[in-house]
Amino acid sequence: MINIVLFGPPGSGKGTQSEKLIKKYGLSHLSTGDILRNEIAEGTELGRRAKSYMDAGDLVPDHEVIAMLTRRLAGSKDSPGFIFDGFPRTVEQAGALDQELEKLGLRVDIMVSLEVEKEELIKRLLLRAKDTGRADDTLEVIEKRLEVYTSQTMPLIDFYKKMNKYASVDGMGSVDDIFGRIVRVVDDCK
C-alpha cells in the first residue's frame, strides 16, 4: 500500500504521469480536476457551482472539493493505494486529506513535486488547447492558474517538507524519462 500526492503547477504532467503510475502500481486515481470536469459534463449541481471558478482559473472552494474527495475515498476503501492528482491544492485541503486518511488507518507516504519551467508549462497547455479545446487552456486563464498555484498551492511544499514527505522531481524532458525519475523516488519510499 502506498499513497502518493502528485504535485506540480498546471501543465507539469500530473495527469500524464498518473496514468503511467496507475498501470505500474495498480493504484486508484483520484484526480479532482477530472472529477470536477465530469460533474460539469453531467450537469450536476456541483458541476454548475464549480464551472465559473474553473473557467476563470480559480480554485473551486475548499469545502466543495474536500466533501467531493471524502465521498470518493469512502467509496474506495479496499484500494491498494491512491494517487492524489491535483489534490491537495491548499493547506486546508492537505489537513483535511490527512484527517480523512487517518479515519481509514492510512496516510500520505510521499509528495512528488514535478518541477517544470514556466515557458514549458505554457507551451504544453497551449498545445493541449489545440488537441482538446479545454476551456481553461487559454493564455489568460493559464497565467491566472499559474498565479493561483504560486500564491495558494506552493505553500504545500513546506507543509510536506516539515513531515519529511517532499520529493522534488525534474519534470522537464520526455514523459518516459520523467516517469523513470518518479519510479525511483516511489520505490525508495516503499
Catalytic residue among 49, 128, 144, 165: 128
* CA–CA distance, 180 with 24 (Å, rounded to integer): 11
User: What's the chain's Rg over C-alpha atoms?
Assistant: 16
Nearest residue to ligand B4P by CB is 33
- At 6, phi and psi to the nearest 5? -95, 120
- Of the ranges 52-60, 96-104, 156-164, 180-188, which one interacts with ligand B4P (CB under 6 A)? 52-60
- Of the ranges 22-30, 54-62, 71-79, 98-106, which one interacts with ligand B4P (CB under 6 A)? 54-62
Q: Does 169 bind ligand B4P (CB under 6 A)?
A: no
Annotated active-site residue 71? The verdict is: no
Candidates 30, 65, 94, 96: give the one binding ligand B4P (CB under 6 A). Answer: 65
Residue tagged 500520505 (cell numbers): 108
* CA–CA distance, 41 with 168 (Å, rounded to integer): 34
Contact 126, 137 (CB under 8 A): yes
* CA–CA distance, 31 with 5 (Å, rounded to integer): 10
Q: Provide the mask over 85-124, with x wherever binding to ligand B4P is found by CB under 6 A and - wherever it is not.
A: -xx-x---x------------------------------x
Report helix, strand or coil for 101.
Answer: helix
Shortest distance (Å) from residue 18 CB to ligand B4P: 7
Shortest distance (Å) from residue 129 CB to ligand B4P: 9
